């Protein structure tokens, strides 16, 4: 129906009201003259109908014959719209420019999506394809998708099984299949034992499949069997299963970390200047000092999650600050240590901890001892001969 | 004579075991009491918002109700919409 309305809009039509005389005769005469009328309704002895502008000129004779009075109520169509807005030349120019811009921008890649990668991060994959020429602002028709996919697989040294790059409009989709993911399903089904990956005392154990060997309260050493993948039947025969379960154990961890003098004094200082501007994939040097060796990051503007064809590249450099105090240095060491600690033991429940800080000529040493509760156990596959 | 017979046969159509004269009878398609498509009509005899009388050569079909609207008017077919309370046929 929407297409019909659009077609009528393109052909221009008028809504007329027919009153007096013989309305029915007028409709019949229009029919005979092959004048198309639609949405004819009647209210208060007045018939309202739609007619194409081209046919409206023909109804003069018919009007006289039937003795009706015709009045135009509404004019609809592209010609009327243009006539109405003909004074607004800037608007017309803007609309044309927008349409042209849309057509041109549709030829470039403005969105890159990575699907199916678990082992390698999306950022690494996007960086790899950038080397092959696919980036924000790449001309999509000038990019060889098939060869790029094959070349990208070689860049990851066998970590990826295959990669496919599909460009549809302004969106590039990178489909990746990891080697590990491919073998994961077969590995999950193959028979295995669960062994301890560190020394500790078992606090809780929950076995999903296999036979429990070390129960709650028992102390285990690294490499000791926790859940066996061999189950014995009543007739004496054995079954090999993939052992699975959740076992948590208490254990002690000791960590020692040294911070040298060069570590303590460095502090990042940001140069507040835009160094490069990327516009439609072209990088243009901007004001400010450009230092290639410094750290740099790109600031890209997004619109509804999609990048715009404009980005600023900013340089950040690290410089040594002078006049540091002992207190500041110790605080800096503790801060760095706690950050590392958080990253390493975020999934571990630390029950008690003990810290020792010592200093010498070379710098500072932090010694930490934790008593923590952690999941224990790793898979050890069983080789079964037929 | 043979030619005339063949021509006469073509004009008649067997519909559900009953021989009907296709030229004389209109084809009416109803969609509930809201929409009717009439093929093989000659024109409109009477039309207002509660009543529409359609001329179909040998018959007249009267649609009574409210909000009656002639959606499409073409050479030999009409689409009538509205809330029909009564549809009646009368032979001319």
DSSP labels for A269-321?
EEEEEEEEEEETTEEEE-SS---TTSEEEEEEEEETTEEEEEEEEEEEEEEE-
B43: pLDDT strictly greater than 60 = yes
B30: pLDDT strictly greater than 90 = yes
What's residue A355's pLDDT?
85
**Residue A293, beta-bridge partner list:** none
| DSSP letter string, A142-170 | GS-HHHHHHHHHHHTTTSEEEEEEEEETT
**Residue B21, beta-bridge partner list:** B12
B37, B39, B41, B44: which to substitute to probe chain A, counting the most A Cβ within 10 Å? B44
How many whole angstroms separate alpha carbon A156 and alpha carbon A220?
39
Q: Out of B67, B72, B75, whose CB is closest to A38?
A: B72
From the CA of A22, how many Å to the nearest CA of chain B? 10
Instruction: Please give the radius of gyration of chain B, using alpha carbons only, rounded to the nearest integer.
Output: 15
Listed in sequence order, the residues at least 6 apart from A192 whose beta carbon sits closer than 8 Å to its beta carbon are A229, A242, A243, A379, A380, A381, A382
Measure Cα distances from A360 to A93, A205, A246, A294 in Å.
74, 45, 44, 32
Q: What is the pLDDT along chain A (386 residues), one digit of tens a residue?
A: 889 999 999 999 999 999 988 889 999 999 888 899 999 999 888 999 999 999 998 898 899 989 999 999 999 999 998 888 888 888 889 999 999 998 988 888 888 888 887 778 888 888 888 888 888 778 888 888 878 888 888 887 777 888 888 888 888 888 888 776 556 666 667 888 888 888 888 888 888 888 888 888 888 888 888 888 888 888 878 888 888 888 888 888 888 888 876 655 555 555 555 677 777 667 777 665 555 555 555 666 666 666 666 776 666 555 555 556 677 777 878 888 888 888 788 778 888 888 888 887 777 888 888 888 888 888 888 876 65
- Nearest CA-CA partner of A31 in A57, A4, A59, A5: A59
Full-model pTM: 0.45
* Nearest Cα residue in chain B from A34: B75
> Of all helices (H) and strands (E), which one includes residue A339?
helix A326-344
How many whole angstroms separate alpha carbon A74 and alpha carbon B68?
21
How many whole angstroms separate alpha carbon A386 and alpha carbon A377?
28
Please check whether residue A311 is in contact with residue A278, taking contact to mean a CB–CB distance below 8 angstroms. yes
What's residue B23's pLDDT?
53
Residue B49 to residue A41, Cβ atoms within 8 A: yes
Tell me whether A137 touches chain B (CB under 8 Å).
no
B81: pLDDT strictly greater than 70 = yes
- Tokens coding B90: 């009368």
Please check whether residue B72 is in contact with residue B36, taking contact to mean a CB–CB distance below 8 angstroms. no
Tell which B residues from 4 to 63 touch A, by Cβ distance under 8 Å: 43-49
DSSP A93: H
What's residue A52's pLDDT?
93
A8, A31, A49: which to substitute to probe chain B, counting the most B Cβ within 10 Å? A31
What's residue A317's pLDDT?
57
| Residue B9 pLDDT class (50, 70, 90 cuts) | very low
B20: pLDDT strictly greater than 80 = no
Tell me whether B91 touches chain A (CB under 8 Å).
no
> Of all helices (H) and strands (E), which one includes residue A355?
strand A349-359
| % residues pLDDT > 90 (chain B) | 42
**Residue A270, beta-bridge partner list:** A316
For residue A32, the chain B residues in CB contact (below 8 A) are 75
* Nearest Cα residue in chain B from A35: B74
Mean pLDDT along residues B8-30: 61
What's residue B10's pLDDT?
46
What's residue A148's pLDDT?
82
How many whole angstroms separate alpha carbon A130 and alpha carbon A155?
12
- Tokens coding A239: 């079954």
Residue B46 to residue A40, Cβ atoms within 8 A: no
- Tokens coding A203: 């606090």
**Residue A71, beta-bridge partner list:** A17
What's residue B7's pLDDT?
45
**Most confident stretch, A249-263, A278-292, B7-21, B58-72:** B58-72
Tell me whether A24 touches chain B (CB under 8 Å).
yes
Tokens 């020394």 -> residue:
A199
How many whole angstroms separate alpha carbon A146 and alpha carbon A83?
50
Residue A27 to residue B44, Cβ atoms within 8 A: yes
The interface pTM score, or ipTM, of the predicted complex is 0.75
DSSP A242: B
What's residue A364's pLDDT?
81
What's residue B8's pLDDT?
47
Q: What are phi and psi of A333, to 5 degrees?
A: -65, -45
């Amino acid at each position: 129906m929407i297409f019909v309305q659009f077609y009528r809009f393109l052909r221009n039509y008028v809504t007329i009201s027919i009153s007096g005389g013989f309305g029915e005769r007028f409709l019949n005469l229009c029919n005979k003259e092959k004048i198309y009328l639609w949405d004819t309704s009647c209210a208060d002895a007045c018939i309202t109908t739609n007619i194409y502008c081209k046919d409206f000129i023909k109804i003069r004779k018919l009007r006289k014959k039937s003795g009706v009075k015709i009045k135009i109520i509404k004019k609809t169509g592209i010609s009327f719209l243009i006539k109405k807005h003909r004074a607004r030349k800037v608007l017309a120019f803007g609309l044309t420019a927008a349409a042209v811009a849309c057509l041109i921008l549709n030829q470039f890649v403005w969105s890159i999506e990575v699907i199916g990668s678990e082992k390698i991060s999306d950022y690494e994959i996007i960086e790899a394809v950038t080397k092959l020429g696919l980036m924000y602002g790449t001309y999509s028709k000038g990019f060889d998708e098939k060869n790029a996919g094959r070349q990208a697989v070689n860049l990851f040294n066998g970590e990826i099984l295959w990669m496919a790059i599909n460009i549809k409009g302004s969106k590039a989709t990178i489909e990746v299949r990891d080697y590990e993911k491919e073998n994961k399903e077969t590995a999950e089904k193959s028979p295995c034992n669960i062994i301890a990956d560190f020394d500790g005392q078992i606090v809780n154990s929950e076995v999903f499949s296999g036979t429990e060997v070390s129960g709650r309260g028992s102390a285990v050493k690294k490499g000791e069997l926790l859940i066996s993948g061999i189950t014995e039947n009543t007739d004496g025969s054995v079954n090999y299963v993939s052992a699975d379960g959740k076992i948590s154990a208490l254990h002690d961890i000791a960590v020692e970390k040294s911070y040298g003098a060069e570590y303590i004094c460095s502090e990042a200082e940001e140069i507040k200047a835009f160094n490069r501007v990327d516009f439609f994939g072209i990088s243009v040097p901007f004001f400010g000092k450009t230092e290639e060796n410094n750290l740099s990051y790109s600031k890209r503007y997004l619109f509804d999650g999609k990048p715009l064809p404009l980005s600023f590249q900013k340089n950040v450099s690290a410089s040594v600050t002078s006049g540091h105090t002992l207190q500041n240095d110790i605080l800096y060491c503790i801060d760095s240590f706690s950050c590392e600690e958080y990253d390493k033991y975020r999934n571990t429940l630390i029950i008690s901890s003990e810290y020792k800080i010592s200093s010498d000529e070379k710098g500072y040493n932090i010694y930490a001892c934790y008593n923590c509760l952690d999941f224990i156990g790793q898979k050890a596959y069983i080789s079964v001969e037929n | 004579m043979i030619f005339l017979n063949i021509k006469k046969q073509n004009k008649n159509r067997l519909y559900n075991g009953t021989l009907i004269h296709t030229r004389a009878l209109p084809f009416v398609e109803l969609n509930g009491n809201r929409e009717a498509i009439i093929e093989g009509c000659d024109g409109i005899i009477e039309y207002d918002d509660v009543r529409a009388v359609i001329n179909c050569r040998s018959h007249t079909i009267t649609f009574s109700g409210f909000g009656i609207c002639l959606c499409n008017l073409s050479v030999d077919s009409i689409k009538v919409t509205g809330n029909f309370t009564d549809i009646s046929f009368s032979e001319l």
